[in-house]
Amino acid sequence: MSNESINKFQNAVTRATAAIGVKASVFVGSAKLKTQIGTLKNEIEKLSLDLGKNIFRLWNEGKVDRELIDEKCTAIKKKYENINKLNTEIEKLEREEANIMGVKTKQKVPELGKKPLFSCPNCNETYDTPVKFCRKCGTKI
Ligand SMILES: [Zn+2]
């Protein structure tokens, strides 16, 4: 192996390791945010129910307390705003992931049950039909 190809190999390993690290942290990050959104949605459900009951009670008693409605509605609105923020955060994380992962890490996944007959000794590209030279790197097979 020449120095140049050793360097290339090491760079590829570094890139792959970095990509896996990013993938894991993005996954954990967005999963956490999605859990938070779930909690907020539950809280909104409870607040809405509470609000509905209160409004009915006040209506039934012939007096509508504007302040109480304001308070409950503001609390609900804040939770919706938090959900929006979290969604933006998730989108950002997923965009970052797409940027870092890029196209380099996309690997050909061989079809199940279909065993490739020939593979390049240099770059491991596989072929179903015999080829004289590797179409990817030009090595004689
Ligand atoms: Zn090749």
pTM of the predicted protein model: 0.48
Q: How far is the CA of 67 from the centre of ligand 1 (A)?
A: 74
The tokens for 119 are: 């593979």
Strand duo 118-119 + 126-127: pairing: antiparallel
CA distances from 101 to 14, 98, 104 (A): 13, 5, 7
Q: Measure 43 CA to ligand 1 centroid, in angstroms.
A: 57
CA of 130 to the centre of ligand 1 (A): 13
Q: What is the pLDDT of residue 105?
A: 45
Per-residue pLDDT, 111: 53
Instruction: State mean pLDDT over 84-95.
Output: 90
pLDDT band of residue 84 (cuts 50, 70, 90) is very high
pLDDT at 9 over 80: no
Q: Is the pLDDT of residue 12 over 80?
A: no
108 C-alpha to center of ligand 1: Å?
14
